[in-house]
Chain A
Amino acid sequence: MEKSGLNLKATELRLGLPGSESPERGSDKNGNAAVILSLKSFVGSGAKRVFCDATDADAKWVFSVSEAAAGRLFSPRGGGSSNNNNNNHGKVHVGSDSGLGGPVLEDGNGACVAAQSPKPVMMVQDKKSHEIAPSKAQVVGWPPIRSYRKNTMSSQSSKNDDDSEAKLGLGCLYVKVSMDGAPYLRKVDLKTYSSYIDLSSALEKMFSCFTIVSGQCSSHNVPSRDGLSESRLMDLLHGSEYVLTYEDKDGDWMLVGDVPWEMFTDSCRRLRIMKSSDAIGLAPRAMEKCKNRN
C-alpha cells in the first residue's frame, strides 16, 4: 500500500492514564506532530456547506476534498478536553497562531485545517510529550453516576483496550470506525443497522465532511435510504474517493459489501474508511476468501 506520509496511528486520538507512556508512533516523513484545532462539528448539511465554502473561497487551503494528497485533519467537537487546560504548554504547534483558532497551514505531509470559529487549540499528544490529564476513570465517584447505571451501561458496551476487537455486549455489537485522516475514532453499534445502506448513510453523517458516496462536495443533498439500491451503493463506493473497509475475525481487511449483511456483522471487528487509492488490493482477496468459505 502506498503510504504517502499517511500515518493513521499518529493522528489517532488516544488518552491514557497519567504517567503512562503513549504508544510508540512511527513519525511520518517529515516528523511533524499532529495538529488539531477545535472546530465546530461538521455534522449536518449546514456545516458541510461551510466546509465547501471554505474550500472554494479560502486561498489558504492546500487541498480540497477531491484532491486530498494526504491525511486531512479535522477536529473533534472540542470534547474530551481533559488535556487542554493545563497541558497546552507541553504541546507542539505547527504553524498556528496563539492557538485561538484561525486557519492553520501545515507543510510537508499536508495536514490542513479550516477554523470556522476561534477556539482554543486542543492538542493530541505528539511523539515527545505524554502529558495527559488524569483519566476520568481514575477519580473515584466521578462523574457522579450511580453504580447501577455505570454497571448497566458498561455491560452494554464492555470496555476493551484492544483496538481491533469489537465490543460485545448484550445484543450490541460496537465496532470502532476510523477514517483516514481523522484524528479520532467513532464507535457504532452494528446491531442497530439492518443493511449496508443504513450503515453507510449513518457513517456518512458521522464523518460528513468527507462524503463516502461522492467525491464531490455535495452540500445540497443527503442521499436517501430509499433511493439507493445495494448495487448502486456498491458502485458509488467503488467510484468514490473513499471506500469502506473492515477488519474481519481473521485480521484481514476486506471491502465492505461483498458478503451478505449477516455474515458481515458476524465477522466484522473494525471498520475503516480508507482512501480508494490505498484499497486497490482489497477486492480480489475478499472475493477469494468468500469463495474459500463457501
Chain B
Amino acid sequence: MESESKRKKESPNTAELAVTASFPDEVLEIVLSLLTSHRDRSSVSLVCKDWYRAERWSRTQVFIGNCYSVSPEILTRRFPNIRSVTLKGKPRFSDFNLVPPNWGADIHAWLVAFAAKYPFLEELRLKRMAVSDESLEFLASNFPNFKLLSLLSCDGFSTDGLAAIATHCKNLTELDIQENGIEDSSGSWLSCFPESFTSLEVLNFANLTSEVNTDALERLVSRCKSLKVLKVNKSISLEQLQRLLVRAPQLEELGTGSFLQDLTARPYADLESAFNNCKNIHTLSGLWEAVPLYLPALYNSCANLTFLNLSYTALQSGEFAKLVVHCPRLRRLWVLDTVEDKGLEAVGSNCPLLEELRVFPADPFDEEIIHGVTEEGFVAVSFGCRRLHYVLYFCRQMTNAAVATIVQNCPNFTHFRLCIMTPGLPDYLTNEPMDEAFGAVVKTCSKLQRLSVSGLLTDLTFEYIGKYAKNLETLSVAFAGRSDRGMQCVLEGCPKLRKLEIRDCPFGNEALLSGLEKYESMRSLWMSACNVTMNACRRLAKQMPRLNVEVMKEDGSDDSQADKVYIYRTVAGPRRDAPPSVLTL
C-alpha cells in the first residue's frame, strides 16, 4: 500500500515499521478524534511524528489559556481543522482593576486569522479578552456555520455588537453573555433575531440591564423548541417570566428576572403552576430583588435542583433556610453572605450532596454593617456536606481551629479559596497567624488544585504549601508572607504549579529569580506591589528568552521598582501590541 511504503521510507527503524504498518494514519486519526481532553492530546502529540501529525489533523477544539503564549499564525499552521476555540486573555487580576486599560488581549487579529483558515469555525469562548463591536460584526459576517458565542468578563463591546450576532448568525445555538464590561445602550438587539430563526438552545443575557422587547422574546422562546437554557435579565417581570415558562416547559436551566412585583392571587397561582410545569429545571439563578413572599412558587421546582445561584439575591437567613429545605439534591450553591451562619447551617442540614459552595459578600466595603458569615457557617456546612470539594468563601473572621475541622470533615477539597476580607487579619480567637489553617488544608487535602490564601500569614504557610501541596496548580496570595523564603518554598515545592498570582507581599528579587526554569513549566506569574526591581526583571528576561517579562509601571512610582510584573511562557515571542504603560523586557 502506498501509505505503508511512504512510511517505510520515513522511519528506518524496523521495529517501528512493524507497528506503524498495521496502523494507518486514518485509523489513528479516528482513534485520536475520540480524545477530548486537551492534556491527553498534548501528550499524544509528543509520542512521535506520526502521532503528532495525526493529532493535529484530528483536533477540532483548542484551548488557549493565555492568548499571548501562541500566535494566530502558529495556531492555524499547526491545527488545520479547528471548529471550536477557547481563548483567555488578561491576567486574572484585571477583574479587580489591577491591569491598566488597553492592556491588550484583543480578539480581532485572531478573528482575521480564523476567517482565513477556519471559515467553518463554530464555537468561540472568550474570557477576559478585549472585544469590540467591529470584531463582533466581523465574526457575524465571516463564519456561516457559527453556532456558539460565550463572552465572560470581556470588555469593549456594546449591545450593537450583539445585534450583529443576532442578525447574521443563522445557525446560532448558544449566546452566553456574562459579567462583561458591556456598554448596554438598548435591548433592541434581542429583536434582531429573524422570525425564521429557530436554532437557539442557550440564551443568557442575565447581566445586561436594558429592557428587551418582551413580545420579541416570547416569540423567540416559542419558536426555539430546543431551548434548554434561558437566563433573562432584571427587566423581565414575574408576569413576563410566567409567560415565558409556559412557552418553554422543556427548560433545564433558568435565570429569572426580577422577582419583585405585586402579584395578586391569580397571577401568583399561574406562576407557581408554570414553574411546576417545567419539570426539567436543574439550574436556577437570577432572582433579582427577590421578595420572600413569592419564593414558595419555586418550592416544587427546587426538588430537582442541582445548581442554585442566589449570588445576586439578598436573602436573609430565615427566608433562605425555608427555601433550602426544598433543595435536597443541591450540588452547587452560590449565595450572598446575607444568609449568615444560620442560613449556612440550614444548608448543612438539608443538602448532603453539596459539592460546591460560593459565598459572596453583599457589602464588602461597608464597615458599619457587621453581618455576613463567620467561621461557624463554614464549619456547619462541612459537617453536613461531606462531599464538598469546591469552596469560595468571603468572611470577616476565621480561626485556625475552624479550618482544621472543616478539612477534617471534607478532605477532598480540590478548590479552596478563602478570603478573609480584612488584609492581614489573624485568628480572631488566638490572635495567631492563620498559618496552621492553610497548613491543615494542604496536609489533609491531597487533591488540592487551587488555593487562595488570606489573613495574617508568615512564611510558614508557604513552607507548608511547598511541602504538601503536590497537586497544586493555581495559587493566589495577597498581603502575606514575611520574606523571599515564602515564595521560594512554593516555587521549589509545587511540581504542578501553573499559575501563581501574588500581590502586596514582601517577596523580592531573590524569590523572583529562584524561579527561572520553573516559569517555563507554568502558564504565568503575576507579582504586584512586591519588592521586585526592574533590574531583576531585566536579568530574568535576559536569561529566559522563552518567557515574556512584562512590567506595568504606575505613574509617579520609583523608576527602579517593578510595580506590576507579568511573566508568561510563550512560543510567539514578545508581543507587539502592548500599550505604552507596559514594558516588555
**Which A residues form the contact surface with B (CB < 8 A)?**
13-15, 38, 41, 43-44, 76-82, 84-85, 118-120, 133, 135-137, 139-150, 152-153, 156-157, 159, 170-172, 184-187, 189, 191-192, 194, 202, 205
Which interface residue of B362, B372, B396 has the most chain A CB atoms within 10 A?
Answer: B396
Verify if B181 is at the interface (C-beta below 8 Å from A). yes
Contact B180 A171 (CB under 8 A): no
Contact A148 B179 (CB under 8 A): yes
Interface of A, helix, strand, loop or mixed by DSSP: loop
Chain B nearest CB, measured from A167 CB (Å):
10
Verify if B95 is at the interface (C-beta below 8 Å from A). yes
Contact of A144 among B95, B153, B207 (CB under 8 A): B95
Q: How far is the CA of A189 from the CA of B316 in the complex (A)?
A: 10
Please give, as numbers and ranges, the residues of chain A lying within 8 Å of B370 by CB-CB distance: 13, 76-77, 79-80, 184
Q: Mark out the residues of chain B between 177 and 226 whose CB falls within 8 Å of any chain A CB in the assembled complex.
A: 179-181, 207
**Which B residues form the contact surface with A (CB < 8 A)?**
93, 95-98, 153, 179-181, 207, 234, 258, 260, 288-289, 291-293, 311-312, 314, 316-319, 340-342, 360-372, 374, 394, 396-397, 419, 421-426, 428-429, 431, 456, 476, 478, 503
Which interface residue of A135, A142, A150 has the most chain B CB atoms within 10 A?
Answer: A142
A78-B397, A119-B428 known; A145 vs B374 contact (CB < 8 Å) = no
Contact of A186 among B289, B317, B369 (CB under 8 A): B369
Please give, as numbers and ranges, the residues of chain B lying within 8 Å of A137 by CB-CB distance: 365
Question: Nearest residue in A to B96 (C-beta to C-beta)?
Answer: A141
Contact of A142 among B95, B96, B288 (CB under 8 A): B96
Contact A192 B316 (CB under 8 A): yes
Q: How far is the CA of A118 from the CA of B427 in the complex (A)?
A: 13
Question: Nearest residue in B to A75 (C-beta to C-beta)?
Answer: B370
Contact A141 B98 (CB under 8 A): yes
Contact A85 B456 (CB under 8 A): yes
Q: How far is the CA of A120 from the CA of B316 in the complex (A)?
A: 28
Which interface residue of A14, A79, A84 has the most chain B CB atoms within 10 A?
Answer: A79
A141-B98, A152-B312, A171-B260 known; A81 vs B369 contact (CB < 8 Å) = no
A80-B367, A147-B97 known; A171 vs B362 contact (CB < 8 Å) = no
Contact of A79 among B374, B419, B476 (CB under 8 A): B374
Q: A85-B425, A153-B363, A191-B291 are in contact. List 13 more A-B contacts (CB 8 A).
A: A38-B428, A81-B428, A82-B422, A136-B422, A143-B419, A144-B93, A145-B394, A149-B311, A152-B312, A171-B260, A192-B319, A194-B293, A205-B318
Question: Nearest residue in B to A44 (C-beta to C-beta)?
Answer: B342
Please give, as numbers and ranges, the residues of chain A lying within 8 Å of B431 by CB-CB distance: 85, 120
Please give, as numbers and ranges, the residues of chain B lying within 8 Å of A189 by CB-CB distance: 314
Q: How far is the CA of A157 from the CA of B312 in the complex (A)?
A: 12
Question: Nearest residue in B to A15 (C-beta to C-beta)?
Answer: B367
Q: How far is the CA of A79 from the CA of B288 in the complex (A)?
A: 27
Q: How far is the CA of A234 from the CA of B340 in the complex (A)?
A: 29
Please give, as numbers and ranges, the residues of chain A lying within 8 Å of B342 by CB-CB distance: 43-44
Which interface residue of B312, B361, B397, B476 has the most chain A CB atoms within 10 A?
Answer: B397
Question: Nearest residue in A to B426 (C-beta to C-beta)?
Answer: A85
Please give, as numbers and ranges, the residues of chain B lying within 8 Å of A143 by CB-CB distance: 361, 364, 394, 419, 421
Contact A85 B260 (CB under 8 A): no
Contact of B360 among A44, A119, A149 (CB under 8 A): A149
Contact A146 B429 (CB under 8 A): no
A80-B396, A136-B365, A202-B316 known; A192 vs B371 contact (CB < 8 Å) = no
Q: How far is the CA of A64 from the CA of B478 in the complex (A)?
A: 45
Top 9 nearest A-B pairs by Cβ distance? Answer: A141-B96, A79-B396, A76-B370, A148-B179, A137-B365, A15-B367, A80-B370, A171-B289, A82-B422
Q: How far is the CA of A84 from the CA of B363 in the complex (A)?
A: 20
Q: How far is the CA of A145 from the CA of B365 in the complex (A)?
A: 11
A-B contacts, 5 listed (Cβ < 8 Å): A43-B342, A79-B370, A120-B429, A141-B98, A185-B369
Which interface residue of B314, B363, B365, B428 has the most chain A CB atoms within 10 A?
Answer: B365
Q: How far is the CA of A141 from the CA of B365 in the complex (A)?
A: 11
Please give, as numbers and ranges, the residues of chain A lying within 8 Å of B153 by CB-CB distance: 146, 148
Please give, as numbers and ranges, the residues of chain B lying within 8 Å of A38 by CB-CB distance: 428
Question: Nearest residue in B to A141 (C-beta to C-beta)?
Answer: B96
Please give, as numbers and ranges, the residues of chain B lying within 8 Å of A76 by CB-CB distance: 370
Q: How far is the CA of A181 from the CA of B419 in the complex (A)?
A: 32
Question: Nearest residue in B to A134 (C-beta to C-beta)?
Answer: B423
Contact of B374 among A78, A133, A171 (CB under 8 A): A78
Question: Nearest residue in B to A148 (C-beta to C-beta)?
Answer: B179
Question: Nearest residue in A to B501 (C-beta to C-beta)?
Answer: A144
Contact A145 B363 (CB under 8 A): no
A44-B342, A143-B364 known; A192 vs B426 contact (CB < 8 Å) = no
Contact B371 A79 (CB under 8 A): yes
Contact B314 A81 (CB under 8 A): no
